[in-house]
């Protein structure tokens, strides 16, 4: 569904990404790994439209999307999270999920002012979808708390729930396990696998937690200093001498 060909991104004299290609198929979990500063997040930013790539092609569901505005790309069904949690902190948990469904609800001003039946129906549908996902990520008990007051692990889960209420087909997670304790990481592992199996969502993942990456990935791409280094199944990657040298480290 997503195919990236020869993607390059140049910031002035720095070639941050150089000729990266990757593919994500339906119901796949794909990881992108590499040392810090390798350009993984830049690849994410180029795919999701936050940067306009200098060269290369990004196709999502057969449609060329490079250079499209970010919000339009997201509306095609490709939603991402960020390395740092970006919640609407002073809004409640449930409101965070309602904002995310902006284009699923009735935004007509007049029907909103008059609270027409269709407006109410859409609002209550959005509410139900939000409640469903809160239950799924085990946040139902804190639904009415301000998002900024949640524990870090809860905020991470809320971020994923907020992406999922938009009903995406591709979920892009930028270091979702950063700062989580081992128990939370295991829960995250289960959640991501369940997203793939139960909701037919593909996941593109940047992550440094090798336990998580090796356990759930269908394929792995390794990026080092902006250039693609290797790709393949977790076992191939674990055995690849270049990857071990550049990133995993020798024992």
Q: Which residues of this chain interact with other proteins, rule CB under 8 A?
A: 48, 50, 70-72, 74-75, 79-82, 86-92, 94-95, 98-100, 102-103, 105-107, 109, 112-113, 115, 127, 130-131, 134, 140-141, 143-144, 162-163, 166
The distance of closest approach from Cβ of residue 7 to other proteins in the complex, given in angstroms and rounded to an integer, is 19
* Placement of tokens 């280094």 in the chain: 229
The distance of closest approach from Cβ of residue 70 to other proteins in the complex, given in angstroms and rounded to an integer, is 5
Nearer to other proteins, 10 or 75 (CB): 75
Nearer to other proteins, 114 or 151 (CB): 114
The distance of closest approach from Cβ of residue 48 to other proteins in the complex, given in angstroms and rounded to an integer, is 7
The distance of closest approach from Cβ of residue 51 to other proteins in the complex, given in angstroms and rounded to an integer, is 12
The distance of closest approach from Cβ of residue 189 to other proteins in the complex, given in angstroms and rounded to an integer, is 23
Nearer to other proteins, 100 or 195 (CB): 100
Are 61 and 118 in contact by the 8 Å Cβ rule? The answer is: no
The distance of closest approach from Cβ of residue 64 to other proteins in the complex, given in angstroms and rounded to an integer, is 19
Nearer to other proteins, 141 or 194 (CB): 141
Q: For every residue of the chain, which 3-state class applies, written as one string?
A: CEEEEEEEEEECCEEEEEEEEEEECCCCEEEEECCCCCCHHHHHHHHCCCCCCCEEEEEECCEECCCCCHHHHHHCCEEECCCCCCCCCCCEHHHHHHHHCCCCCCCCHHHHHHCCHHHHHHHHHHHHHHHHHHHHCCCHHHCCCEHHHCCHHHHHHHHHHHHHCCCCCEEEEECCCCCCCHHHHHHHHHHHHHHHHHHCCEEEEECCCHHHHHHHCCEEEEEECCEEEEEECHHHHHHCHHHHHHHHCCC
Nearer to other proteins, 25 or 107 (CB): 107
Nearer to other proteins, 142 or 180 (CB): 142
């Amino acid at each position: 569904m997503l195919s990236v060909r020869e993607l390059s991104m140049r910031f002035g004299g720095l070639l941050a990404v150089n000729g990266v290609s990757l593919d994500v198929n339906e119901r796949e979990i794909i990881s992108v790994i590499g040392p810090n500063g390798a350009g993984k997040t830049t690849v994410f930013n180029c795919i999701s439209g936050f940067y306009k790539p200098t060269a290369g092609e990004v196709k999502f569901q057969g449609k060329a999307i490079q250079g499209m505005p970010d919000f339009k790309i997201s509306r095609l069904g490709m939603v991402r999270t960020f390395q740092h949690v970006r919640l609407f902190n002073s809004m409640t948990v449930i409101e965070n999920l309602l904002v995310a469904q902006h284009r699923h609800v009735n935004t007509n001003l007049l029907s909103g002012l008059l609270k027409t039946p269709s407006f109410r129906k859409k609002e209550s549908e959005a509410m139900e979808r939000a409640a469903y996902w809160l239950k799924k990520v085990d946040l139902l008990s804190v639904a009415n708390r301000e998002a900024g007051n949640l524990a870090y692990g809860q905020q991470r889960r809320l971020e994923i729930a907020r992406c999922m209420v938009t009903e995406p087909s591709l979920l892009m997670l930028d270091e979702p396990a950063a700062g989580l304790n081992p128990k939370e990481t295991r829960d995250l592992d289960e959640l991501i696998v369940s997203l793939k199996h139960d909701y037919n969502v593909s996941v593109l993942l940047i992550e440094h937690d090798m336990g998580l990456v090796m356990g759930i990935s269908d394929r792995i791409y390794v990026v080092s200093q902006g250039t693609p280094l290797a790709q393949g199944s977790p076992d191939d990657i674990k055995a690849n001498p270049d990857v071990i040298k550049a990133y995993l480290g020798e024992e």
